[in-house]
Amino acid sequence: MAELSKVYRCYHCGVILQNDDNSKPGYIEKEVMEKYPEGLLLCDNCFKNERFNSSPKEADFEVSYESILGEIKIKNALVVYVVDVFSFEGSFISKLNKKLEGIDVFAVASKRDLLPSEADNDILQHYIEHRLRVSKLTVKDSILVSTNSGYNMNILHEKLIKYGKNRDIYFIGATTSGKSTIIEDFLRNYTNNTHNLITTYTFNDSDLRGFRIPINDSHYIYETPGTSINNSIISKADKISQNQIIPKKTVKARNFKLSPNNSILFGGLVGIQLINGPRTNVSCYASSEVNINLIKGDLENSLTNLLKKKKVSPIIDYIKSATDFDAYDIQIPEKGSRDIGILGLGWINFIGNNQLFRVFVPKGVYVYTTRGKVQYVNK
Ligand SMILES: Nc1nc2c(ncn2[C@@H]2O[C@H](COP(=O)(O)OP(=O)(O)OP(=O)(O)O)[C@@H](O)[C@H]2O)c(=O)[nH]1
Ligand SMILES: [Mg+2]
C-alpha cells in the first residue's frame, strides 16, 4: 500500500525542504528536522540570511545627540540618565552608554507605578545598578521614582538641588522615558530664587532644543530632547494599537504553564513558542489592553487564523499572516529567573532550565533576554 508522508516546507520562503544536497534550495539538516518535527522549520538559506538572527539589533540612538554629550563633557556636568523601568531595554541604549563613559551619571528609573507594587524594590534597584555597572557607567547615585504615584519624588528633588550646588545637570534619555514629566513635577515645587529665567536653550553645534532651569545663580538643569528608538514595537504600530500597547496602569503578571510546542500569543503582535525543554511556568507582563493567549500546537496556523478572524487584539494592519514576522531562536543555558522581552511591548519571566524558545515579532522589532527584572517580596 502506498504510504503518505508529510512534505515539509520552509516556513519563510515556502521551498520544499530536503536533506540530501546542501547546494540545492530547501536544504535543512536531517537532525534539525527530526529534533523539531512539529516546530516551524526554515531552510538553511532563510535561517542564515534572512529572518533568523540570534543577535538581534539593539536600541539605537541619533548621531545629533553627540553635540549635547560634547557640551556635557566640557562642563564636567552631571548626567541624570532617565530609564523607564517598564520598558528598560528601550530606554537603556548601549551606543549612548558608550558615549557616557567617564561622565558622572545619576540614574533615575522612572514609572515605578507600572510594575506590581509587590515587586521587590531592592532587587529592582540592584538589577538597574547591575546593568549600569556592566555598561561601565560611572554611577554616582541611583533612584527608583514614579511621577504618577509620587514615589521617591521628594527625595529626587532634594538630590537635584544638592547636586546642582556645584555643577550643571543634564537630563538625558530615550524618548518617552519620562524626563519632561519629572521636570514638570520638579517645577511644581520650585521657586526661582536666582537672577536668571527659565528659558529654552539650543545645544552647542546643533538644532536640538530643550528647557534650561536655573537651580542657583551659577548652575542649571537642562532638559534634552529624547533619543528616538526605531526598533520598538511602538514604532511599528498604528495610533490605536500604540494606545493599547503602552501601559497606563500597573502591569500585573498573567501566568501560564507552557508545554513544548505550545506558545504564548500577545495580541496578534508576538508569539513565543517553547520549542524544546521542560514544561515551564511563565509569567507575562504587558499592558492589560493586550490579550495574552495560550496556543496549543501549530502556532503558524493558529496565528494566521486568529489574525484573519481578528480574534486577538491589538493587531497591526499590515501583519496578516505568520510570514509577516521575524523569528528568533533563544536558547536559555542560564539557571534562575530569566526574562525574554520584546521592545516596547513587555516580557515573559520564567526559571531558566535549558529551554529553547522561538520568538515571532513584527519585522525589525528588537528581542532580548536578560536575568529576571521583577522578583516579588516574600517569594
Ligand atoms: N505610568 C507612568 N507614566 C509616566 C510616568 N512618567 C511619565 N509617564 C508617561 O510617559 C510618557 C512620556 O513621558 P515624558 O515625560 O513626555 O517623556 P520624555 O522623556 O520627556 O520624552 P521625550 O520628550 O519624547 O524625550 C507620557 O505619556 C507620560 O505620561 C510615570 O511615573 N508613570
Ligand atoms: Mg520630553
Distances in Å between the Cα of 244 and the Cα atoms of 7, 202, 248, 289 are 40, 35, 9, 5
The predicted pLDDT at position 56 comes to 41
The predicted pLDDT at position 30 comes to 84
Q: Is residue 332 within 8 Å of residue 338, measured between CB atoms?
A: yes
- In the numeric block, the cell 524544546 is attached to 276
- Which amino acid is present at 96? L
The predicted pLDDT at position 54 comes to 42
**Mean pLDDT value of segment 206-231:** 88
Between 189 and 53, whose confidence is greater? 189
Confidence of residue 37 (pLDDT cuts 50, 70, 90): low
Between 50 and 193, whose confidence is greater? 193
Write down all domains in the chain, each with its CATH number in brackets.
Answer: 1-52 (no CATH), 63-223 (3.40.50.300), 233-371 (no CATH)
Residue 292 in this model has a pLDDT that exceeds 70: yes
**Mean pLDDT value of segment 284-295:** 97
Q: What is the mean pLDDT of the chain?
A: 88
The predicted pLDDT at position 57 comes to 47
169 Cβ neighbours under 8 A, 6+ residues apart:
77, 78, 79, 80, 106, 160, 163, 215, 219, 220, 221, 222
The predicted pLDDT at position 247 comes to 96
pLDDT-above-70 percentage for the chain: 91
Beta strands in the chain (DSSP E): 78-84, 104-110, 138-144, 169-172, 199-202, 209-214, 220-223, 254-258, 263-266, 270-276, 280-286, 292-295, 325-331, 336-342, 346-352, 356-362, 367-371
Taking alpha carbons only, the member of 34, 3, 250 closest to residue 17 is: 34
- In the numeric block, the cell 554616582 is attached to 140
Confidence of residue 33 (pLDDT cuts 50, 70, 90): confident
The predicted pLDDT at position 62 comes to 60
181 Cβ closer than 6 Å to some ligand 1 atom: yes
Between 15 and 224, whose confidence is greater? 224
Shortest-distance atom of ligand 1 to CA 247: 1
The DSSP code for 195 is S
The predicted pLDDT at position 137 comes to 94
What cell does 54 get?
Answer: 540570534
- Closest residue (by CA) to atom 9 of ligand 1? 178
The predicted pLDDT at position 343 comes to 92
Taking alpha carbons only, the member of 149, 170, 164 closest to residue 80 is: 170
pLDDT in tens, 46-67: 776 544 444 344 444 565 678 8
pLDDT in tens, 66-125: 888 989 999 999 999 999 999 998 888 878 888 898 999 999 999 999 999 999 999 999
Residue 348 in this model has a pLDDT that exceeds 90: yes
- Closest residue (by CA) to atom 4 of ligand 1? 111
The predicted pLDDT at position 49 comes to 57
CA–centroid distance, 70 to ligand 1, in Å, is 26
pLDDT in tens, 138-165: 999 999 999 999 999 999 999 999 999 9
The DSSP code for 136 is T
The predicted pLDDT at position 48 comes to 65
Q: Is residue 316 within 8 Å of residue 237, measured between CB atoms?
A: yes
Residue 213 in this model has a pLDDT that exceeds 70: yes
**Mean pLDDT value of segment 248-253:** 96
Taking alpha carbons only, the member of 325, 345, 302, 375 closest to residue 38 is: 302
Confidence of residue 44 (pLDDT cuts 50, 70, 90): confident
Residue 324 in this model has a pLDDT that exceeds 60: yes
323 Cβ closer than 6 Å to some ligand 1 atom: no
39 Cβ closer than 6 Å to some ligand 1 atom: no
- Closest residue (by CA) to atom 2 of ligand 1? 111
Task: Give the mutation target among 180, 184, 188, 245 for probing the ligand 1 site: most ligand atoms within 8 A of CB.
Answer: 180
335 Cβ neighbours under 8 A, 6+ residues apart:
351, 352, 353
- Which amino acid is present at 85? V
